[in-house]
Amino acid sequence: MFPLVGSAANSVPGKSNVSNHLPGPRLAEMDPATRSGLAHLYNLEYDQAIADFERSQKLFPYDPFAVNHLLQAVLLKELYRLDALDTTLYAHDGFLAGKALPADPKVRDRILQLAESAAQLANERLKKNPDDVDALYARGVARGLRLSYSAIVEKSFFPSLRGALASRNDHERVLALKPEYVDAKLLIGIHNYVIGSMPFPARFFAGMAGISGNKKRGLEYLYEVGRSRCESSPDARMALALFLRREAKYGEALEVVRTLTAQFPRNFLFAIEEANVLKDSGNAKDAAAAYARVLMNARLGIYADPHVERVTFGLAESLRGMGESQSALENYEATLQSPTAAKEIRQRALLGSAQMLDVIGHREQALLRYHDAIAMDPDSKAAETARGFLNRPFQY
């Protein structure tokens, strides 16, 4: 699931030329525990997915795909806990910088260990057969998942680019050997788009390091994977919806994301993404209705561990766009009352609530909120915006 740079799953058969004591790299995919784990994964039921993948890994200890499935679930669980799967973080270039997230060191160690294990298993295959497309694909995924952790959690985005190129090279090699191996186009498509969309100075230095990108080619690859029946299709569609949203192609993004909400109605991230696209498109009324539906479904227990503060914040922003200041304020307040709200969204909710307090004439309370927002992270964009209203009240 995006923002990963490769899916652990694969759907194109490949031949294995290794001995019987090293099972074929796709045997784990036929295991019922793997299929159950994938279903849990796309419902954001991470603990259940991890338990299933651990069972599968024990049955297939030499299978790099089994390790990658487990690695992907462990990584996604940590990213979700850290609120790092919220696509609004990736809808602009701000995610390239920022401070490292408060990761769990034990989880970090496990991610590194699993990534190393999967890569080693793939390398053992490649020693026997350098053209083993399944092993090349699995190694590229392991490298990509490891680097996703570095870029997103540790914020070492630019140092990770060179390592990401190794993952991309593995998957380009897969396509050279087997052009119909569609899953490999996911990582290449994401990499092409991300590099191609960076600001010119960053793209220039990346080019000097031999790292190139092309936004158009990246989107084409993601469309191809998304339209396929391969198991990487949902990941490709989520990445595609985000990138189309960045390109202000809201109609196309909405069409793509609605295929995901139809296929995975219990997935909280897909549901809120539909509302996010509507909000960014300027359709505040429909966005507010979409956020309200997600909030109702969350209260009905449709989703596993929903981050409701993201819904109330999006609803507040939409109501604000409709000029409903009091209702917007109430939802900013609901966001602030959430015990699980991340620092970034709390600061933005403080800023939003201060602005709405200004609009309804509560200047003294607004000033307190502006100061609270600044104190939370003085160097942030939200703090800079808040400072601008210390000497004058916010107005629409």
Q: Is the pLDDT of residue 332 over 60?
A: yes
CA distance 367 to 105: 38
CA distance 150 to 368: 37
Tens digit of each residue's pLDDT (9 = 90 or more) over 362-380: 999 999 999 999 999 999 9
Q: Both tokens of residue 101?
A: 């997230």
**Stated pTM of the model:** 0.89
Tens digit of each residue's pLDDT (9 = 90 or more) over 187-240: 999 999 988 988 877 777 777 767 789 999 999 999 999 999 998 999 999 999
How many CA atoms lie within 13 Å of 93's alpha carbon, on the beta-carbon side?
A: 12
State mean pLDDT over 124-136.
97
Cβ pair 239, 256 in contact under 8 A: no
Q: Which helix (H) or strand (E) holds 160?
A: helix 157-177
pLDDT range class, residue 95, cuts 50, 70, 90: low
The angle at the Cα of 304, spanning 299 to 307, to the nearest 5 degrees, equals 70
